[in-house]
């Protein structure tokens, strides 16, 4: 059994224990694509990283409601009328397929946040990981090798990743295949921002994994996304999701000076007691990104469990990421 599996098994056992009552708390869940059904993945257009169907989303909402959670997004996450146990549903990247979820979330009266990488909205290009997945499948690259390549590309700056894909598969490979893998258009982003339940958040301009890019580029990635969205929607975002969950002290400081109030990571955990009032903690909030088709209830029980080894490990990682660079390497 690997360490990660052992931690998960222990956490599942802990999640079954009666909850310890504490102050108000917040659970943030992160999703990517929204599918009509799992058949959508048959075309191999999307990297099947975190498949979530509309039915899965509805299940998630009803399970949370049954467990006493109300719903918020970054705009009203700490208003006084906010429920005692709050859940915040977030969708990363800015996929047009997220728009499928709007009628459902409307019917269920659930606010949500879509974190948009504005460079993709501007160019209309397919997300690089989907291009890699689809082109690798076409060339019968073994899945394990494609995953290794994806992880290696994550070590590069966004322009270099694009360059690698163009060199390997040609410029035309960057065109989306269709409705499933394309980013939202600027007009769709504007329309979504007008929806009373929707919040549009920052996901950097080029989907930069912030600790990977040079310090000046980190600030630029954050502020360019802020000003693009401000121009488009009339107001700059107040929430950011760090691409790949990557953050460091410089990025967090750049977010604070760009006017961002909430920052969500990919470090799991439930935030209690909520609200958190120091800026650095608010800009590095725990978020679970492990709910996916076939595992909704189990993963949700883990995400809302007050006792978790994974949360303790995540807290250790959060503090490590916030340590000044000199101590890091």
Q: Which residues bind Zn ion (CB under 5 A)?
A: 92-93, 243
Shortest separation between residue 28's beta carbon and Zn ion, angstroms: 15
Shortest separation between residue 84's beta carbon and Zn ion, angstroms: 30
DSSP track, 32-67: ---BSSGGGGGG--S-TTS--BHHHHHHHHHHHHHT
Residue (31 or 274) nearer to Zn ion, CB: 31
Residue (32 or 75) nearer to Zn ion, CB: 32
Which residues are paired to 308 by β-bridges? Answer: none
Residue (33 or 305) nearer to Zn ion, CB: 33
Shortest separation between residue 309's beta carbon and Zn ion, angstroms: 26
Residue (74 or 86) nearer to Zn ion, CB: 74
Shortest separation between residue 21's beta carbon and Zn ion, angstroms: 35
**Closest residue (Cβ) to Zn ion?**
92
Extract long-range pairs of 248-252: CB within 8 Å, 24+ residues apart: 248/210, 248/211, 248/218, 248/321, 248/322, 248/325, 249/322, 249/323, 249/324, 249/325, 250/215, 250/218, 250/219, 250/325, 251/210, 251/211, 251/218, 251/222, 252/280, 252/283, 252/284, 252/322
**18 Rama sector, left if φ>0, alpha if ψ -120 to 50, beta otherwise:** beta
Which residues are paired to 116 by β-bridges? Answer: 93, 202
Residue (92 or 199) nearer to Zn ion, CB: 92
Residue (50 or 301) nearer to Zn ion, CB: 50
Shortest separation between residue 198's beta carbon and Zn ion, angstroms: 18
Shortest separation between residue 243's beta carbon and Zn ion, angstroms: 5
Q: What is the DSSP letter of 89?
A: E
- Nearest CA-CA partner of 5 in 245, 240, 310, 214: 310
Beta carbons within 8 Å of 140's beta carbon, 6+ residues apart: none
Residue (93 or 125) nearer to Zn ion, CB: 93
Tokens 């999703």 belong to which residue? 31
Shortest separation between residue 264's beta carbon and Zn ion, angstroms: 11
């Amino acid at each position: 059994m690997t360490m990660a599996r052992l931690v998960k098994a222990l956490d599942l056992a802990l999640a079954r224990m009666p909850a310890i009552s504490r102050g108000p708390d917040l659970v943030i869940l992160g999703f990517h694509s929204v599918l009509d059904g799992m058949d959508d993945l048959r075309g191999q257009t999307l990297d099947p990283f975190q498949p979530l169907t509309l039915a899965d989303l509805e299940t998630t909402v009803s399970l949370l409601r049954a467990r006493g959670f109300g719903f918020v997004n970054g705009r009203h996450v700490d208003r006084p009328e906010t429920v005692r146990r709050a859940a915040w549903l977030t969708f990363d990247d800015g996929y047009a397929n997220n728009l499928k979820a709007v009628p459902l979330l409307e019917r269920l009266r659930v606010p949500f946040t879509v974190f948009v990488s504005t460079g993709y909205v501007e160019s209309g290009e397919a997300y690089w990981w989907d291009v890699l997945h689809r082109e690798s499948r076409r060339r019968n690259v073994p899945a394990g090798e494609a995953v290794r390549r994806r992880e290696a590309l994550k070590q590069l700056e966004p322009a270099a990743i694009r360059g690698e894909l163009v060199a390997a598969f040609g410029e035309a490979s960057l065109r989306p295949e269709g409705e499933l893998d394309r980013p939202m258009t600027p007009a769709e982003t504007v329309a979504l921002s007008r929806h009373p339940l929707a919040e549009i958040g920052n996901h950097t301009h080029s989907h930069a994994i912030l600790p990977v890019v040079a310090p000046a580029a980190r600030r630029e990635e954050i502020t360019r996304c802020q000003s693009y969205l401000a121009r488009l929607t009339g107001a700059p975002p107040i929430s950011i999701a760090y691409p790949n969950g990557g953050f460091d002290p410089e990025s967090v400081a750049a977010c604070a000076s760009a006017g961002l109030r909430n920052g969500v990571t990919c470090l799991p955990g439930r935030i209690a007691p909520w609200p958190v009032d120091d800026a650095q903690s608010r800009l590095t909030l725990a978020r679970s990104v492990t709910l996916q088709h076939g595992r909704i209830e189990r993963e949700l029980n883990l995400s809302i469990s007050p006792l978790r080894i994974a949360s303790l490990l995540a807290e250790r990682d959060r503090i490590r990421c916030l340590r000044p660079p000199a101590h890091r390497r």
